[in-house]
Structure 1
Amino acid sequence: MDYLSRDAAPFADDFWQQLDNTITETASKILQGRRFVPIYGPLGIGVTNIELDDVENLKEVADNGIIFTAGRSYIQIPTLYTDFILSAKDMQTSQHSGYPVDLAQAINAAEQAAIQEDKFIFFGNDTLKIDGLFTAAGTQKITKTDWNIGENSFKNIAEAINLLVKEGIYSSYSLLISPDLYLQMQRIQPGTGILEIDRVKKLLHKRVFVSPVLGKEKALLISADARNIDLAIGQDLQTAYLEQTELNHKFRLLETIRLRIKRPKSIIQFE
């Protein structure tokens, strides 16, 4: 069974190859969550549920000949999707003239899908009660000082690292920040000749990630190790053929993903 319905579509393999390459290249330029959150999968479109372990409380419990795993729950892997339409006239013209297909609408959809994925990773979904990095319960918090002044940003980040170390969380420290905070660190520190952002990048081994999805005044430090967090992927970002509607061709860009926060205290928010 062709889940993506590509066999039913009137297109040659080279079109699908062009479309897949365009989608991947476009999305990869925008996606930030995948740059630091470990990937678990892809597991396949048929995997709709997955276990979520509370690392701090995970253990096997035996009672009267019955053994079960405490600290483990099972969660759904939802589908994220974005639809787009390509003109049938344009595709016919391309086929007969030999010109490349204009994939502007597909590029727009790939950008929307990438933004949607990052929003889902960072903020989850309130309606579905799905946690994101900024909305999960049990994360740690630090009062953020004014990053426009002196060494405040460096000191706050160093404080956060020290807090993680005290909790026994030692590896893969990554900083996720909004563009405005990133710009605030583009200042030369008096007496050093070094930009504040360069000091921070050196402290974090260059693991600094900026996303416009965050809006303004948003930052967190995370130990992005697979023991603490990962992104479970069933179906990775792919394009399916839906139908021909009003003589044009309708497609669906989809993926099935779920963020698994196994150790909430490995996340520190600056508030």
Structure 2
Amino acid sequence: MDYLSRESAPFSADLWKKIDDTVVDTASRVLVGRRFLNIFGPLGVGMQSINLDSTDIGKSVQEETAGGISRIGRRKYEEIPLLYNDFTLLWRDIENSEKFDYPLDLSPVIAAAETCARKEDKLIFLGDESFGYEGIFNAVGINKMEKSDWKSGENPFSDVASAVKILTEQGIYGKYVLVVSPDLYLQMQRIQPGTGVLEVDRISKLLDGNIFTSPVLGTDKGALLCSEPNYMDIAIGQDMATAYLELKDLNHVLRVLETALLRIKNKKSIVVFE
């Protein structure tokens, strides 16, 4: 069964390839979370839920046995949500492209893929309160520390160094990543007095270049985390793909979709600046 309903679309294989390539290229350009988080999957669109095990000492899963019956204790399961965005291709544009061999304007595809990618990053960083999904910045039990004024002195570097210390003191080692909102990223683009070195370059050297920014964070948000897969990852059921929905007013309605879930396995691996 073609759950993407592509057989319903009067599209050539070449047009589908152009749509697919556009979605992949756009998602690769926009997505931020996937640049530093490990991908678990793809597991298939039929995978509706997945285990969310803790690797924190004292909270890890363990097998429980009694009376000849065994089960895995302390294991949680979380539903993998579907993220999507719809777009329309006008039939006259397609006919014009095919008849005169003009390139088809795929701006609607780009816009839909960008929106879907932003939704994934928003789910990763901020979660979704209405459905009870936790994100990196608002999960219960993460480390929090007061943020200094990043517009003066060496405060950004000092705060990041202090956050690294918090992680190492708790035995969290590995790839350290700084994720900040665009305004904080710009505040690091200044020369540290007396050094001739940009503040962002000092921090980048400390973190092996692992500094990322995303517009979905809004303003004045920053977090340091350890992105090793034993601490967190992204479970992917269906990776981003395009489905055909319907013919409406002779125009073609399609949907960019994916199923994805952030799994935080050890909340001690995150330090949020407040």
TM over 0.5: yes
Aligned equivalent of 2:189: 186
Cα distance in 1 for residues equivalent to 2:120 and 2:153: 35
Aligned equivalent of 1:240: 243
Gaps of 5+ in 2: none
Shift of 1:226: 0.5
Equivalent position SS for 1:69: strand
Aligned equivalent of 1:51: 51
Shift of 1:99: 1.2
Partner residue of 2:87 out of 84, 87, 90: 84
Aligned equivalent of 1:29: 29
Partner residue of 1:139 out of 138, 142, 147: 142
Q: Please list, as runs of the form range in 1=range in 2, the aligned pairs for 1:65-80 lying within 5 A after superposition.
A: 65-80=68-83
Aligned equivalent of 2:229: 226
Cα distance in 1 for residues equivalent to 2:177 and 2:20: 30
Cα distance in 1 for residues equivalent to 2:7 and 2:37: 34
Shift of 1:63: 2.9
Q: Please list, as runs of the form range in 1=range in 2, the aligned pairs for 1:80-119 lying within 5 A after superposition.
A: 80-119=83-122
Cα distance in 2 for residues equivalent to 1:6 and 1:221: 42
Shift of 1:72: 1.1
Q: Please list, as runs of the form range in 1=range in 2, the aligned pairs for 1:124-135 lying within 5 A after superposition.
A: 124-135=127-138
Aligned equivalent of 2:155: 152
Q: Does 1:262 align with 2:265?
A: yes
CA contact (8 A) 1:37 1:231 kept: yes
Aligned equivalent of 1:174: 177
Residues 100-131 of structure 1: CA deviation (Å, up to 9, x unaligned):
21111111111111111111111111111111
Question: Match for 2:226: what amino acid?
Answer: S
CA contact (8 A) 1:220 1:268 kept: yes
Residues 151-186 of structure 1: CA deviation (Å, up to 9, x unaligned):
111011001001100110010100000111111111
Cα distance in 2 for residues equivalent to 1:173 and 1:66: 42
Cα distance in 2 for residues equivalent to 1:165 and 1:133: 18
Cα distance in 2 for residues equivalent to 1:135 and 1:162: 21
Question: Match for 1:224: what amino acid?
Answer: S
Shift of 1:62: 2.7
Question: Match for 1:243: what amino acid?
Answer: E
Residues 168-211 of structure 1: CA deviation (Å, up to 9, x unaligned):
00101000001111111111112211100000000000000011
Cα distance in 1 for residues equivalent to 2:219 and 2:6: 41
Cα distance in 2 for residues equivalent to 1:82 and 1:19: 14
Shift of 1:270: 0.2
Q: CA RMSD in A?
A: 0.9
Gaps of 5+ in 1: none
Identity, in percent, stands at 51
Cα distance in 2 for residues equivalent to 1:72 and 1:153: 38
Cα distance in 1 for residues equivalent to 2:55 and 2:65: 19
Cα distance in 2 for residues equivalent to 1:71 and 1:157: 33
Cα distance in 1 for residues equivalent to 2:214 and 2:82: 22
Cα distance in 2 for residues equivalent to 1:186 and 1:257: 33
Shift of 1:23: 1.1
CA contact (8 A) 1:55 1:71 kept: no
Question: Match for 1:242: what amino acid?
Answer: L
Cα distance in 1 for residues equivalent to 2:75 and 2:55: 9
Shift of 1:64: 3.3
Equivalent position SS for 1:226: coil
Aligned equivalent of 2:20: 20
